[in-house]
Amino acid sequence: MRRYLLTVALPKGRMFQEAYGALKGAGLDLPPVEGERALLHGKEGGIALLELRNQDVPVYVDLGIAELGVVGKDILLDSGRDLFEPVDLGFGACRLSLIRRPGDTSPIRRIATKYPLFTARLLKERGWVADVVELSGNIELAAVTGLADAVVDVVQTGATLRAAGLVEVEVLAHSTARLIVNRQALKLKRWLLKPLIAKLRGRDGGP
């Protein structure tokens, strides 16, 4: 097992560049990202950077493998983990919405999503009785094909919805990128993490 001064978990894909830039801009000496297939960047004793699937960022931070990470609020709403979330970084804005076929007002009996905890909570709050079908991606297809009466999914530009001929019935939650920090690490590596949090807070103008 390799040892690092600090390990940072970032989501690969849409949010990676902005997250990398935000941390770097706040003075964190992140390693360069080299090699198309590399998943871990950085040298032992320095800062390590992990490129993860969105959903795995809270897991690595909660279990203490990474001291900090950046991930969308949508993912945190579904993670069921108790993480310190000190900064709203502002970028990566999107919403979690209820999506259906146009004109479909029938009772929702089956709902597809890659956000099963969030969706189960929603059903409970609303008193709706429906089966939650967990899928891994291209969730809109579940509504298009009739696999489900409705889906709960992310909408950013709305382009995927339009292309699928579906409608956004209700916005359920708003999401932006958040800094998350392992609670234990906050105590043990306070000297490193506190100034970083302060700088990132200054950047978004928050408290």
Q: Provide, rounded to whole angstroms, the least separation between the CB of residue 145 and ligand PRP.
A: 15
Q: With beta carbons less than 8 A apart as the criterion, state whether 29 and 47 touch.
A: yes
Please select the residue that binds ligand PRP; options are 138, 165, 188, 198, rule is CB under 6 A: 138
Please select the residue that binds ligand PRP; options are 18, 31, 101, 160, rule is CB under 6 A: 160
Please select the residue that binds ligand PRP; options are 67, 153, 179, 193, rule is CB under 6 A: 153
Longest dimension (CA), the chain: 58
Please select the residue that binds ligand PRP; options are 159, 191, 205, 207, rule is CB under 6 A: 159
Q: Provide, rounded to whole angstroms, the least separation between the CB of residue 155 and ligand PRP.
A: 5
Q: Provide, rounded to whole angstroms, the least separation between the CB of residue 159 and ligand PRP.
A: 4
Q: Does 55 bind ligand PRP (CB under 6 A)?
A: no
Stretch that binds ligand PRP, among 2-10, 57-65, 123-131, 153-161 (CB under 6 A): 153-161
Determine phi and psi for 102, rounding to 5 degrees: -60, 135
Q: Does 129 bind ligand PRP (CB under 6 A)?
A: no
Alpha-carbon distances, residue 16 vs 23, 47, 62, 92, 163 (angstroms): 11, 16, 20, 10, 25
Q: Provide, rounded to whole angstroms, the least separation between the CB of residue 157 and ligand PRP.
A: 3
Q: Does 176 bind ligand PRP (CB under 6 A)?
A: no
Q: Does 157 bind ligand PRP (CB under 6 A)?
A: yes
Q: Is the torsion defined by CA of 203, 206, 192, 20 positive or negative?
A: negative
Q: Does 165 bind ligand PRP (CB under 6 A)?
A: no
Q: Provide, rounded to whole angstroms, the least separation between the CB of residue 148 and ligand PRP.
A: 14
What three-state secondary structure class fits 138? Answer: coil
Alpha-carbon distances, residue 85 vs 33, 43, 77, 174 (angstroms): 25, 27, 12, 16
Beta strands in the chain (DSSP E): 6-11, 40-41, 47-52, 68-72, 84-88, 94-100, 110-113, 131-134, 150-155, 167-175, 177-181
Q: Does 154 bind ligand PRP (CB under 6 A)?
A: yes
Residue 130 is encoded by which pair of tokens?
């429906």
In the complex, which residues of this chain contact ligand PRP (CB under 6 A)? 114, 137-140, 153-160
